[in-house]
Structure 1
């Protein structure tokens, strides 16, 4: 059965958590007293209506939004307000909702940009080759300008670039947005494969049923507050969640 925010607690296996976080931008507050706990190795999915604060929650974790109260922790260490570059070095990567490839540079150059925190160019090049083995379609078109790729190919490139640092946790903001159905299945298959290899994933997903169907943990955000939590299956089967947020 889905529960309310008050039942969200951390454990020894918690890898990423937000505790009583109020956050926003400047004088604008978007999130109100939010609690989230994600365990190591989980896929967690955040759903909710447009404007509910889903992207702001991700940005509060990563250092793009202002945390006005509360705290964010990664593997037991407080990271509240830490810069995106520091979070990347620390093992958290972030794939933005908006298209973020550099269209006038090659697939290979885009991939290497994911390793900009490396001090060794050879290390970055070696890591890129590993990723081309995992994403053979990108290896085949590595010299092609990223601006010529299809929407699905661009999303795979963004995923590969985020994997350059071999992150412990990956934040994915609307990975299926703007994609044709056949590419959505490909992207979610890839997400599950990454999780099977040990990457903990927090995703925001407009396709709520698709996102919850692969999620170990789910959160429903509305008006800047967590309204329900539970396993993905519990939220999919909850009548109130279905009526209010899944169109059931």
Structure 2
């Protein structure tokens, strides 16, 4: 977690009065959040509260009906996912998104498809194998044969091929054994220390807030609590309602 003082600058990512959903269905209402550059921000809340929709409204997978999404000083409210990726965002979806019939290495190269330069993607993949040695060891293995933890690491590494300024992670610990959860969160903190701003949705609320500089509680499509990760972990009402305390 980035422990340096937060400078009084404009937020790196902000949602202002955002109402969003899909087609004729509204899922989140009047959402306001701000994430500063270099932070880890964590979004928690019950199932069905709209956490994934909030993430998708930033990236372009959901419809923003009202309000404004701003990223790095630019209004990105109506951007497509392709434009979001090209602008410096990566998004690791909740559902497994590896290509099972491709090798680990082929999956990694897919992370750099926007480069239009296979050599650049391959060079970046080699750098990431140094950071994720377990993936380097299995680079020729078919991705469909990987364990859940290995798949999660592959998705994380593949999202880093484009060297994003903002990485969004939807439920990084879902379905993983405890030892892999710790590994994934260590990687998240490591990426943050290297300068990547991170917004994550995490069902394991205590784990997510424990690494977060900033936390948000979403329930019934609305932000109910905002604070530092520590403040939310220590808040009796948040604990009773959302942390099982």
| TM-score category, normalised to shorter length | over 0.9
Question: Which of these residues, 163, 167, 174, is aligned with residue 171 of structure 2?
Answer: 174
Change (3 A) 1:11 1:29: farther
Within a 5 Å distance, the mapping from 1:45-64 to structure 2 comes to: 45-64=42-61
Partners of 1:34 and 1:117 lie apart in 2 by 31
Within a 5 Å distance, the mapping from 1:23-172 to structure 2 comes to: 23-172=20-169
Deviation at 1:81, TM superposition (A): 1.5
Deviations 1:99-154 (A, max 9, x none): 11011110000011010000211111111101111111101110000011110000
Three-state SS of the structure 2 residue aligned to 1:164 is coil
TM-score by length of 2: 0.96
Question: Which of these residues, 207, 221, 242, is aligned with residue 210 of structure 1?
Answer: 207
Deviation at 1:84, TM superposition (A): 0.6
Partners of 1:11 and 1:36 lie apart in 2 by 16
Partners of 1:124 and 1:242 lie apart in 2 by 44
Three-state SS of the structure 2 residue aligned to 1:49 is coil
Partners of 2:168 and 2:19 lie apart in 1 by 19
Partners of 2:97 and 2:238 lie apart in 1 by 32
Three-state SS of the structure 2 residue aligned to 1:155 is helix
Deviation at 1:76, TM superposition (A): 1.0
Alignment-derived partner of residue 237 in structure 1: 234
Three-state SS of the structure 1 residue aligned to 2:113 is coil
Partners of 1:162 and 1:85 lie apart in 2 by 13
Three-state SS of the structure 2 residue aligned to 1:165 is coil
Question: Which of these residues, 217, 221, 225, is aligned with residue 220 of structure 1?
Answer: 217
Deviations 1:37-95 (A, max 9, x none): 00000000000000000000000000000000001000110000201111111100000
Three-state SS of the structure 2 residue aligned to 1:59 is helix
Three-state SS of the structure 1 residue aligned to 2:144 is helix
**Aligned-pair Cα RMSD in Å:** 1.0
Three-state SS of the structure 2 residue aligned to 1:131 is helix
Three-state SS of the structure 1 residue aligned to 2:119 is helix
Q: Which runs of 4+ in 1 moved over 6 A?
A: none
Change (3 A) 1:11 1:64: farther
Structure 2: where are the runs of 5+ without partners? 1-6
